[in-house]
Structure 1
Amino acid sequence: MHHEQTGSEIDRHTQSSQQIFEALAAGQSGAGADLYQVNLRGRALNQVDLRQATLIRADFSQADLTATNLAGADLRGASLQGAILKDANLTGACLSRVDLSGADLSGANLTDVKMQGVRYDRYTIFPADFNYKSSGAIGPGARLNGANLNTANLRYVDLQGANLLGAYLGGADLTQANLQAARLSQGDLRRAFLTGACLRTAGLNGANLAGADLRAADLTDVEFDRLESIAGADFSHVRGLTDEMRSRLLSYPAQELETYNSFTRRTTGESLGLER
């Protein structure tokens, strides 16, 4: 008796990425398959069936997934950078921490998709009717007021113009992030890594910068008339810091200025040019 091949016959533990690609390209279903960390970068996989598949940390960057069925798939931590997902079915898929930078999702079905922690950039194309800015995704113009992003890996992320009022970014890695014109008032940035970050015209009033690493950050025209704390913050080599801004920072209590940054082992006062 002939038995139809099922997705369970495709398995990352017993097959190479090349074998998996060949099976899918030949029309075999990948529904329900365990494809943990599979590398299908740059592959053409139009209209394949990957419903309910485990695709955690899979690499689909630059892949052509046009009209692919990814309904209910677990894509946590996967890379979809530059992927073509036109008309793909992503209903109920988990995209937590997925990188969608440069991806084309025009016409895709994103009903009930979980977007928390998803990264996008100005080149990402979303379906015309999808409110991506309020979806929990992270990118330019995102509405992330009060979001819990403690210890998140946000290196090089583009958050230009994003709303992050009261957001929790304690310990987050924002190295060289683009935070130009971002609204960070009342935000928790304790021990955040902002090395080389662009904070031009960003709003930081009421933010907590205790222990933050701001070395070489661009603070041109930043708004921080009132900061909750700068104890242990390192401002070494920051750009755009006017004499008036520096004087204002140096007016904070001596206890804060004498606090060491736990990472750079430099006091806040020293980082602002205050001689011991």
Structure 2
Amino acid sequence: MVNLKIDRTNSDSEILRTLKSRQSLAGAEFPDADLSGIELYDSDLSGANLSGANLSGASLIGANLSGANLSGANLVEADLRGANLQGAILKSAALQNSCLCRADLRNANLSEADLNGSKLQVALYDSLTVWPSGFRYKSCGAVGPGALLSGAFLNTANLRFVDLSGANLLGAYLSGADLTGANLQGAGLSGANLRRAFLTGACLRDARLNGAELQEVDFRGADLTGASLDHVTSIEGADFTGVRGLGEAVRAMLCHRSSEELDSWNSYTRTTTRESLNCETV
């Protein structure tokens, strides 16, 4: 816990020198501080008290603000790309025209916050995230349960263990995305590009993968109970080792794909699709 207090009587240069002199500002006290336009790239401000602080135009790219108190803070036009805001309190915060792309908002409290003009593409949320009343968070580009991400570009995105249950990902571009352990139960993935995606241990129960591109997908240990795999464009190099819930009818259907697909290696796991499906027993 850092015993540090800064108020508006400090000059910007004094504040900047104080901040730069410390590697970690976890738990620091900054209530009502004027930190407008300050550079706090990749800083550790976890658990800090920034309630009522002026952070307009501040650069907080990659900052750790998990558990921080930002209630009533001025974050207008602040750059929060990739910031960790898990469990942060942003109640009544001014976030107009801020950039929250790829920020982690899981379990964050954004009640009564002003998000007008804010950018939330690929920001993460979950069932515990509290949004402002009436805010259409499912269609703002953020990633979470029930998100409307049809046709979204999520190539190579880090979505490990993210909750995407019931999400609409029809025709989404997820090539190379890391969805290890993700919850995709009931998600719509029809027509999605999942080439070389990692779905190791993911929950795909009742997911719709009809017409999806599954070349070199790593499905090892995934739960495919009730998943629809009709008319997938290709399973070339896909690894189904240890999948759960893959019905015999579905497995037989996959095992009757072309030899070119079934005998292709997964470049990561070094297993052929035929071997992973144990097609010889079909």
Q: TM-score, length-normalised on structure 1?
A: 0.94
Number of aligned residue pairs: 272
Aligned partner of 2:179 in structure 1 is 174
Q: Give the residue type in structure 1 aligned to 2:267.
A: S
Aligned partner of 1:69 in structure 2 is 74
C-alpha separation in 1, matches of 2:54 and 2:82: 20
Aligned partner of 2:5 in structure 1 is none
- Distance verdict in 2 for CA 1:257–1:83, change over 3 Å: same
Q: 1:159 aligns with which of 156, 164, 178?
A: 164
Aligned partner of 1:14 in structure 2 is 20
Aligned partner of 2:92 in structure 1 is 87
Q: Give the residue type in structure 2 aligned to 1:79.
A: N
- Distance verdict in 2 for CA 1:216–1:19, change over 3 Å: closer
Q: Give the residue type in structure 2 aligned to 1:18.
A: L
CA contact (8 A) 1:40 1:60 kept: yes
Residues 106-185 of structure 1 correspond to what in structure 2 (within 5 A)? 106-185=111-190
C-alpha separation in 2, matches of 1:84 and 1:72: 18
- Distance verdict in 2 for CA 1:112–1:255, change over 3 Å: same
Worse-superposed segment, 223-232 or 5-14: 5-14
Q: Does 1:41 align with 2:46?
A: yes
Aligned partner of 1:60 in structure 2 is 65
Shift in Å, 1:4: 6.3
Q: Give the residue type in structure 1 aligned to 2:25.
A: Q
Q: Give the residue type in structure 1 aligned to 2:222.
A: A
Aligned partner of 1:230 in structure 2 is 235
| Two-structure CA RMSD over aligned residues (Å) | 1.8
CA contact (8 A) 1:6 1:31 kept: no
C-alpha separation in 1, matches of 2:221 and 2:196: 16
CA contact (8 A) 1:10 1:20 kept: no
CA contact (8 A) 1:231 1:259 kept: yes
C-alpha separation in 2, matches of 1:79 and 1:244: 44
C-alpha separation in 1, matches of 2:122 and 2:263: 36
List, as ranges, runs of 4+ consecutive aligned residues in structure 1 with deviation greater than 4 Å: 3-6
Unaligned runs of 5+ in 2: 1-7
C-alpha separation in 2, matches of 1:53 and 1:108: 18
CA contact (8 A) 1:154 1:172 kept: yes
- Distance verdict in 2 for CA 1:242–1:250, change over 3 Å: same
C-alpha separation in 1, matches of 2:48 and 2:257: 56
C-alpha separation in 2, matches of 1:193 and 1:274: 22
CA contact (8 A) 1:76 1:97 kept: yes
- Distance verdict in 2 for CA 1:155–1:20, change over 3 Å: closer
Q: Give the residue type in structure 1 aligned to 2:215.
A: A
C-alpha separation in 2, matches of 1:211 and 1:113: 36
CA contact (8 A) 2:160 2:179 kept: yes
Identity %: 54
Query: C-alpha offsets along residues 146-175 of structure 1, whole Å, 9 cap, x if unaligned?
Result: 000000000001000000000000000000
Shift in Å, 1:8: 5.2
Q: Give the residue type in structure 2 aligned to 1:187.
A: A
